[in-house]
Amino acid sequence: MRIGFIGAGKVATAFGRYLHGHGVTIGGYFDRHAEKSTHAATATGSQACRDGAQLAGISDVVLITTRDDQIQPACEELCRQEAIQAHHCVGHMSGAHGSLILDAAGRRGAAVFSLHPLQAFAQEEKALADLAHTWFSLEGSNPRLSDIETLMARTGNRCLRLPPEGKPLYHLAACIFSNYLVTLMAHGMRALAKSGIDPMQGFEAMRPLIEGTIANIGRWGPAKALTGPIARGDRSTLAHHLQALAAAQDAELKALYTFMGLKTLDLALQDVLKEPDKAEAVRKALEGNYP
């Protein structure tokens, strides 16, 4: 099975090198910047192609690794040129889009898919190193995608499978895990700053707690990993927090604290908090302060 890439940026070049290192044959690259095609092709013992049609002609799997907004037009252009045939698997590596944006190729009988590495790649060499421990998601419904699973089994990377209709919520989940985690940390640092601690130094001090909590979620799941005053149904500690929030006069922090507190209470009731009267007192205190 020969893999060809349209777009020879960071992801395509690093992934091609990674696959090549695992004995997968790379057919070639086409990028609208010829020097990028040459660099990636040289690094993978493959061909720098003059256009997309030539690339498709020498590939069984065509991966469109342009930026997201160029994926659909690039696919449609290949289809207009009749470069995509029924024997092809055509995919992209975006997290935000599903395989439906490759519908033009699907209508020509190709098996369409998206293969998303759950990783941020800012630079080729770092990306190559990170790929060894990167999970992927493979989305699409064509039975021929077992070929892509076989390909990923060859590198040993683990793969989440999902149907086309699941892709938007999968991407939303990745945004919660990554982007919203940053927002949550920023609010923790905001509370530290108000307590008189330097936020970056405070973050370093909290780091073992943060990383230990993440490890516990991985070990036991979120409901059992929960600790702290809400998990204990400790109404009086909560009252101290709410007083401190009132004194800090920070409405945004209060909104976040009470909303997250209510979600934390729901989670606590799934496992660690067994006393309904304590839970009710905590809920009343939080709801009474929720904007």
Closest approach of ligand NAP to the CB of residue 22, in Å: 19
Closest approach of ligand NAP to the CB of residue 3, in Å: 14
Is residue 92 at the binding interface for ligand NAP, with CB under 6 A as the rule?
yes
Chain positions 264 to 283 lying near ligand NAP, rule: CB under 6 A, are: none
| Closer Cβ to ligand NAP, 65 or 289, answer by number | 65
Reading the block at residue 253, the tokens are 């922090």
> Contact region for ligand NAP (CB under 6 A) — 9-17, 139-147, 157-165, 278-286?
9-17
Query: Using CA atoms, how far apart are residues 50 and 144, in angstroms rounded to an integer?
Result: 29
Closest approach of ligand NAP to the CB of residue 278, in Å: 44
| Closer Cβ to ligand NAP, 40 or 238, answer by number | 40
Looking at 1, 9, 144, 239, which residue binds ligand NAP (CB under 6 A)? 9
Spell out a b/e string for 128-161, using b for 16 or more CB atoms within 10 Å of the CB, else e: bebbeebebbbbbebeebeebeebbeebebebee
Closest approach of ligand NAP to the CB of residue 44, in Å: 15
| Closer Cβ to ligand NAP, 14 or 145, answer by number | 14
Is residue 284 at the binding interface for ligand NAP, with CB under 6 A as the rule?
no
Is residue 16 at the binding interface for ligand NAP, with CB under 6 A as the rule?
no
Closest approach of ligand NAP to the CB of residue 95, in Å: 6
Looking at 3, 11, 61, 105, which residue binds ligand NAP (CB under 6 A)? 11
Is residue 67 at the binding interface for ligand NAP, with CB under 6 A as the rule?
yes
Chain positions 105 to 144 lying near ligand NAP, rule: CB under 6 A, are: 116-117, 119-121
Is residue 54 at the binding interface for ligand NAP, with CB under 6 A as the rule?
no
Closest approach of ligand NAP to the CB of residue 20, in Å: 17
Is residue 44 at the binding interface for ligand NAP, with CB under 6 A as the rule?
no
Residues in touch with ligand NAP (CB under 6 A): 6-7, 9-12, 30-33, 36, 65-68, 70, 74, 92-95, 116-117, 119-121
